[in-house]
Amino acid sequence: MLITCKNITKSYVNGDAETVVLKGVSFEIEKGEYVAIMGPSGSGKSTLMHLLGALDTPTSGTYIFDGRDISTFSDDELAGVRKEKIGFVFQAFHLLPRASALRNVMLPLVYANFPRGQREAKAREALTLAGLEESRFNNLSNQLSGGQMQRVAIARALVNDPSLILADEPTGNLDTATGNIVLETFEELNKQGKTIILITHELEVAEHAKRVIQVRDGIITSDKRIRR
């Protein structure tokens, strides 16, 4: 099992006021699953995404990720989990505009102290896996289309061979046709064994996954597998 969440709660205190965002969330995700977490604005899905991505810890409950209980990890320990185990893909691509696609993907390898002589080969492999044409590898990111930039972002998420790819509204800045191409990329990566969690508010996006967990008012209201 890659992820086990047991009775997760999350609340925020502002002065005398406490806002409870997650209210006892429990579920498991196996290695190799492709899961969409879906909900409207204010449902708690973004808070849940932050917890799953080791960007925050729960107020109570247990979060076991890749065999470790990270519920009470320090900020430095969480940073280590993110660096070693999780690849992020965001709605805003977060690419360096004056760097090539190749260099954008090589950057996490620099932070991970990956051997200098092997970085380019590893980045090229990730870009190919993400479906970017080799002729675009040396283009600056601001010379790429939206779909191509998202493929670079996916390659950057893949390059350290993470246990989990966490995609937060990855098609939000793309037109429908381009968004579908990006979602097909996730489907192909999942067929190759990658574990993917997709955060979205759109049913038509969620249905590209193999399982949809719906969140509303801080609780799970539905957890269904998609039949193809």
Determine the pLDDT at residue 39.
95
Dist CA 143 CA 48 (whole Å): 34
- Parent domain of 20: 3-225
Determine the pLDDT at residue 25.
98
- In tens, the pLDDT along 88-129 reads 999 999 999 999 999 999 999 998 888 988 999 999 999 999
The total number of structural domains that make up the chain: 1
- In tens, the pLDDT along 133-183 reads 999 999 999 999 999 999 999 999 999 999 999 999 999 999 999 999 999
Name the pTM for this structure. 0.94
Which domain CATH number covers 121? 3.40.50.300
Strand partners, 69: 64
